[in-house]
Amino acid sequence: MLGSPQSLGPARSATQETSDTHMATTTPSPSTSTGPVTFERLGDVFVVTIDNPPVNALGVDVRRGLVAAIDAAEADSAAKAVLIVGAGRNFIAGADIREFGKTPQPPSLPEVCLKIENCTKPVVAAIHGAALGGGLEVALSAHYRIASPTAKLGLPEVALGLLPGSGGTQRAPRLIGVKPAIELMLSGRHAGAREALSLGLVDRLGTDADADADADARAEGLAYANELVAAKAPVRRTREAGALADKEASRAALEAARADTAKKSRGLFSPMKIVEAVEGALTLPFDEGMALERKLFLQCIDSPQRAGLIHAFFAEREVLKAPETKSASPRALESAGIVGGGTMGAGIAVAMLDAGMPVTMIERDDTQLARGRANVEKVYDGLIAKGRMTPEAKAAVMARFSGSTSYDALAQVDIVVEAVFEEMGVKKAVFAELDRVCKRGAVIATNTSYLDIDEIAASISRPQDVVGLHFFSPANIMKLLEIVVPAKVSADVVATGFELAKKLKKVPVRAGVCDGFIGNRILAVYRQAADHMMEDGASPYDIDAAVRNFGYPMGPFQVSDLAGGDIGWATRKRKAATRDPKARYVQVADRICERGWFGQKTQRGYYLYPEGARTGVPDPEVLAIIDAERERAGIKPRAFTEEEIMRRYMAAMINEGANVVLQRIALRPLDVDVTFLYGYGFPRHRGGPMKYADTVGLPKVLADIQEFAKEDPIFWKPSPLLVQLVERGADFASLNQSE
Ligand code: 3H9
């Protein structure tokens, strides 16, 4: 429990005994440490330390502790100033996100902030590490702020579907003006300490920050507080700050932000609420502005977007906790080899070069090697053309790149990623070479999208070293990395895959071996649902529009045009022999590909791309092909609403997602969610397909599937997992605990 006023007895009496001697300002009081907030007086300064690992989030105990600390500081007559610091790596990372959606426990954070601001003694916040969200709002409620040079300050609530709800929307504009304050809130970005100083968000920069950053922040904060005491600095309340004095400029900045938000925040709830709350800072007295902020904050808390975004926040951290990352340590990962210099191989090479690794590329002859190198250089030349890289920086990166036509050049590398043609025979030939040349303990990875990695692993003498690393194109940009775990791989190789993802700043998801792993396997199913709807009466343009309106950046037919229709065509031909002859097969895509219309690269696919345009326009000839196919299949087209399109599209995705979890291809539903958020453009505010299913309600999803099954029982087979969960009254979230 927290320090009650009674438990502060010794601290108070120590002060009282010496209150009128010189010692009163130099003798430390015993510290009170009964919870995550500790307080003690050091001379004139009452030091309040928040120690709530891992990131000093402002959970209920911290909030209570802060109130108790301010009360104690007020009561301590020898305390002339108060210093608030964080223990560990951060000042405060914000409100405790895990508390949202639960019954709120008093005191609320706005009350805590007001308490701090109303303190009658100057309060100093000494910031190091993160001061984010509620953490920055606590700092803004203090009267003076000092930040270490590496501190990061921001109001990132928007990324969680929220707005700063502890006075941030009212205090930040008053302190630094509408324009920079609202920009911080709408972007959610973290500002560095120097920028924070120039904005006026902090008053002073500390001088040092290293491994002992919290000790430095405390020492420098203490020195600052003592200086303020010596100078008899007054209490200085942020709510009385004057940055809104120029009413016209403030209003202009607000209206510019409003117009920009209306344009950019497609479907997102909280950005416009931020604008509304900041408008309150301009038009209302502080207390009323705070009441408005609270009202809007609670609206955000209640929105499903908040639940989706917070799910995404935790899910992307949870995916890192695979069994192998807990049980094993990664192997060395200093140097890399890539086999294959096509788009994928070159993209992976760039990702590794960007992470500072030396990369050796293998190609079969000099011409192909030159092409591979050119593919790598093209990426950097693009950056130079946009002014985002200097030729010197490119030269420095390319100095770490080497190429060879001999596998022997890979003898010393720590990891090799094979990215050659998707054909089992070709892959096995490459693996035989790698088995021959690679040093013992090297990780041998394949970037295959579909092939059986167990079979590839079994073809060499060291299956324990073989893992799947499925990058997404363009590999230097796309964040998702599926780490595909074959049966015989050793745990430290899997852990090395996760370590590589960290090095490359990618989001790793552990996947089991099957055709398409997590992402492409599920994609294959909902893509068919889209094809069925197309043949049944919805145009590809209707379907794309429905999917975009759901929040995706693009619809499935636009994606197909971007990726190149020939890729899917080749896969369909490969699978033709094994396809269930009774299963429905829509031939529209084949008709389009037979004409050589492969999408953007051939200037037409489902859409027309006149003169290389990147946004397509609907093509009447495609509609005629679809009509002809409907006729051939004996289908009388019917109308689809957007809602029906999305019900079917999502039901197919969720059902296959459930199968993937059931078969342990994905460890948990959240692994499916992260795969789709980072590899397939799934709208983040919906949290991922499995979270979305929970939001809609599993009984409803199952009922949809059962209804659709009446038309096509082969395609629409309810996943046994979905059925089980509905029978138990459970949801996907119940399966999300890490193992
Ligand atoms: C807010 O403040 C609302 C207010 O305006 C109004 C309130 C009324 N709560 O990221 P890491 C956990 S909204 C609970 O791996 P890093 C995280 O899940 C909040 N837990 O470390 C992980 O747990 P685990 C606004 C949190 O060093 C562990 O801490 N603030 C919170 O790479 C380590 O996290 C934000 O949005 C939290 N607030 O990065 C900031 N934050 O180990 C959110 C983290 O069990 N946080 N955890 O997996 C961050 O951006 C990063 O965590 C940070 C550290 C940069 C601080």
User: Does the pLDDT value for residue 601 go beyond 50?
Assistant: yes
Statement: residue 19 has pLDDT above 90: no
How many whole angstroms separate alpha carbon 106 and alpha carbon 366?
A: 70
pLDDT category, 462, cuts 50, 70, 90? very high
Say how many Å lie between the CA of residue 181 and the centre of ligand 1.
21
Percentage of the residues of the chain whose pLDDT score is greater than 90: 88
Give the number of the atom of ligand 1 that is nearest the alpha carbon of residue 135.
2
Residue 505 beta carbon below 6 angstroms from any ligand 1 atom: no
Confidence of residue 243 (pLDDT cuts 50, 70, 90): very high
- Closest to 253 measured CA to CA, from 240, 263, 264, 243: 243
Determine the pLDDT at residue 209. 55
Q: Ligand 1 centroid vs 654 CA: distance in angstroms?
A: 29
Mean pLDDT value across the chain: 93
As a whole number of Å, the end-to-end CA separation of the chain is 31
Residues 624-676 have pLDDT tens digits of 999 999 999 999 999 999 999 999 999 999 999 999 999 999 999 999 999 99
Separation of alpha carbons 493 and 328, rounded Å: 9
Is the pLDDT at 211 greater than 60, yes or no?
no
Residue 498 confidence (pLDDT): 98
Pick the atom of ligand 1 nearest to 109's CA: 8
Q: Give the chain's length.
A: 739
Residue 436: what residue type? R
Determine the pLDDT at residue 20. 34
Domain boundaries, the chain: 5-290, 333-517, 520-735
Q: What pTM was estimated for this model as a whole?
A: 0.92
Instruction: Give domain 333-517's CATH architecture.
Output: 3-Layer(aba) Sandwich (3.40)
Give me the CATH topology for the region 520-735: N-(1-d-carboxylethyl)-l-norvaline Dehydrogenase; domain 2 (1.10.1040)
Three-state DSSP at 395 gives: helix
d(CA 373, CA 421): 17
- Measured from the CB, is residue 122 less than 6 Å from ligand 1? no
- Nearest one of 326, 323, 352 to 337, comparing CA atoms: 352
109 lines ligand 1 (CB under 6 A): yes
Mean pLDDT of 316-333: 96
Residue 10 has pLDDT above 70, yes or no: no
Nearest CA to ligand 1 atom 16: 55
Q: Find the 334 Cα to ligand 1 centroid distance in Å.
A: 30
The response to whether residue 274 sits with its C-beta less than 6 Å from ligand 1 reads no
Confidence of residue 212 (pLDDT cuts 50, 70, 90): low
Structure confidence by residue, pLDDT tens digits, 310-324: 999 999 999 999 999
- State the SS3 of 558-623: HHHHHHCHHHHHHHHHHHHHHCCCCCCCCCHHHHHHHCCCCEHHHCECCEECHHHCCCCEECHHHH
Q: What is the DSSP letter of 340?
A: -
Can you read off the two tokens belonging to residue 497? Answer: 């895959």
Question: Ligand 1: which atom is nearest the Cα of residue 160?
Answer: 36
* CB 316 less than 6 A from any atom of ligand 1: no
Mean pLDDT within 246-262: 97
- State the catalytic residues: 137, 157
If you average pLDDT over residues 600-604, what whole number do you get? Answer: 92
Pairing of strands 480-485, 466-471: antiparallel
pLDDT for the residue 611: 84
132 in contact with ligand 1, CB cutoff 6 A:
yes
Given a cut of 90, is residue 99 above it in pLDDT?
Answer: yes
What are 374-390's pLDDT values in tens digits?
999 999 999 999 999 99
Dump strand ranges (E) for 302-441. Answer: 336-339, 359-362, 401-404, 415-418
DSSP-derived 3-state class of residue 626? helix
Measured in Å, residue 471 CA sits from the centre of ligand 1 at: 27
pLDDT of residue 7: 29
Whether 451 and 644 have beta carbons less than 8 Å apart is answered as: no
Whether residue 154 has pLDDT greater than 50: yes
Render pLDDT for 255-304 as a digit per residue (tens, 0 to 9).
999 999 999 987 899 999 999 999 999 999 999 999 999 999 999 999 99
Model pLDDT, residue 472: 94
pLDDT band at 34 (very low <50, low <70, confident <90, very high): low
Q: Is the CB of 93 under 6 A from ligand 1?
A: yes
Answer yes or no: is pLDDT of 465 > 60: yes
For residue 89, the ligand 1 atom closest to its alpha carbon is 27
Average pLDDT over residues 178-191: 98
Question: Rounded to whole angstroms, how far apart are CA atoms 6 and 405?
Answer: 78
Q: For ligand 1, atom 43, which residue shows the shortest CA distance?
A: 93
| Residue 31, pLDDT score | 74
Q: Distance from the CA of 133 to the center of ligand 1, in angstroms?
A: 10
Q: Is the pLDDT of residue 13 over 90?
A: no
- pLDDT exceeds 90 at position 124: yes
Which of the listed CATH numbers 3.40.50.720, 3.30.360.10, 3.90.226.10, 3.60.40.10 matches domain 5-290? 3.90.226.10
Judging by beta carbons within 10 Å of its beta carbon (0-12, 13-18, 19+), is residue 495 exposed, middle or buried? Answer: buried
Q: Is 62 in the pocket of ligand 1 (CB under 6 A)?
A: no
Strand intervals (E) in 282-358: 336-339
